[in-house]
Structure 1
Amino acid sequence: MAEPPRVSGGRADEAPRPYRPGYELVAERLLEYITEQKLRPGDRLPTEQGLAQILGASRNVTREAVKVLAAIGRLSVRRGAGIFVAETPGGLVDDPLSHFRPTSMEDVLMLLDYRTVIESETARRAATLATPREVRDIRQGAQASLAAAEQDDGHGFARADEAFHDAVGVASHNVFLRSSVAGVRRLASQSDVLLFHGDAPGSLEVAARQHLAIAEAVAAGEADLAQELMVHHIATTQRQFERKIRDRLFNLGDRATGAAPQPPTGAGTQDVPLPPRTSAS
């Protein structure tokens, strides 16, 4: 029987690379495989054993990779049926975002560029259109993010961060802008999980104080300032993100690169808990 095609990046004769968890690398290769094979949402993947052979990994590590990708919504594992490419939130079968690579610097930078365009306009419109109640919600989200940051509460910050950005989206009075903001943040959370395991790429307090500045610009009706502050906020996130990726991929070369380590606590159980999204964003 012919040997299944292997995904690029899985050759055994490649030079050792800086340490990264084995399941993370296999998850990355699995997403590349889905793209290379032009698989679409709803398409069935090979069995766990078949994927392990294709990806050049052990079955155990492949299993952890599948669990993580299922936890972030990229795969769907159906008991007794198999492993499938997950449907996209919008339900569009041909949606190119189904092939977003959360560990690719190129894809992440495109995502942040798009986020700058969408969220800066959302903030500008919020400053023009927000009702008193919507201004209150934006302020509350910003204040809650600062309180959580000062307590080093990653879970609390994640909730407040989401509430703040969603409140700005609501205040734009455009359901498509609000939906776009939510969609971008869902994709960004995939990078947080695969690369950072829920750790913040940068300072939560810096991000929270930027939230407060944006909230006050919206409250004052200063549309241009709100837009400018949001652009700066996302640019700060991008710099922190790039630095964190460089540190992770290139500054850990002195660590062992042999056998893949075990995934974080909980990844070996039946249900993988999704780490909290605590990006300084």
Structure 2
Amino acid sequence: MTELAARRPATRPRRNLTQMVIADLRERIGSGGLQPGDKLPTEQALIRQLGVSRTVVREAIAGLRADGLVEPRQGIGVFVREAVRPSSGLSLLSEDAGKISSVIETLELRAAVEIEAAGLAAERRSPAQEAKIRERYEEIAAAIARGEAAEDADFAFHLAIAEATNNRHFGEFFEFLGRRTIPRSQLSDRGASPVRTPAYVRQLQGEHETIMAAICQGDAEAAREAMRIHLKGSLERYQRLRREAR
């Protein structure tokens, strides 16, 4: 049993467990215990080592993936990525992600890519990819039921759609943006902000359901429109928040 498993109280909330697993794996990567190119232990191995559930492990991997630390390779496993050193021209990665203006710019960029990704996913998804989109949707629902903001599960849902385009560059683009794809996670210091309330998160989940249904029905135009409404609605809410903050 690892130190993490030994110190884990039986009643610790899953969100805390997810963060503990993320911290454990980050420490292994940062200390050189896991080098770039190394394969992470399997889900079952991590479950045994850390004494947590499969869902916690998957949420932790999604969090590490959102931060660009690991990448999955289909049918092989999850691997530690090479450290990315962005050039000075990549202001998207170097500017203050916590600024509402940066959130708005990122949402505009996302809309340009993800609206089309939703349509392609509706046309090209495999049965396994469709099942993965549904599973990620259910993970968001479970997090909301626990009263959580569900940022990691939200990222995983959108990433599953990008992967269902069967054009690897959509997924690569989404991973490049990382946690910026879920802007409310960048504004966590705003406390009772309307972009982090339970009502707001439930509204987003309703939009997710509409996107998922259109993709699973193979309706490309409906999927594009549902994603457009989802992202444009978020964009308008953040624009309103910026106006109110002035």
TM-score by length of 2: 0.57
Larger Rg: 1
Over 3 Å counting, the alpha-carbon distance change for 1:132 and 1:188 in structure 2 is closer
Q: In the alignment, what sits opposite 1:147? A: 142
Asked if the contact 2:110/2:181 (under 8 Å) is kept, the reply is: no
TM superposition shift of 1:175: 1.5
TM superposition shift of 1:93: 4.9
Secondary structure of the 1:197 match is helix
Asked if the contact 1:88/1:98 (under 8 Å) is kept, the reply is: no
Over 3 Å counting, the alpha-carbon distance change for 1:238 and 1:94 in structure 2 is closer
Q: In the alignment, what sits opposite 2:56? A: none
Over 3 Å counting, the alpha-carbon distance change for 1:205 and 1:235 in structure 2 is same
Structure 2: runs of 5+ lacking an equivalent: 1-65, 68-81
The structure where helix makes up a greater share of residues is 2
Asked if the contact 1:102/1:191 (under 8 Å) is kept, the reply is: no
Structure 1: runs of 5+ lacking an equivalent: 1-71, 74-86, 251-281
The superposition leaves residues 164-220 of structure 1 with CA deviations (integer Å, 9 ceiling, x where unpaired) of: 111101101111111212233433557743x43286715111111211111111111
Q: After TM superposition, list the pairs within 5 Å mapping 1:211-226 onto structure 2.
A: 211-226=208-223
The superposition leaves residues 45-93 of structure 1 with CA deviations (integer Å, 9 ceiling, x where unpaired) of: xxxxxxxxxxxxxxxxxxxxxxxxxxx98xxxxxxxxxxxxx9846445
- For 1:180 and 1:98, locate their aligned partners in 2 and report how far apart those are by CA, in whole Å: 13
Q: In the alignment, what sits opposite 1:102? A: 97
Pick the aligned partner of 1:158 from 132, 151, 164.
Answer: 151
Q: After TM superposition, list the pairs within 5 Å mapping 1:29-178 onto structure 2.
A: 89=84, 91-154=86-149, 157-178=150-171
TM superposition shift of 1:97: 2.4
Q: Report the number of matched residues.
A: 162
TM-score by length of 1: 0.50
TM superposition shift of 1:230: 0.5
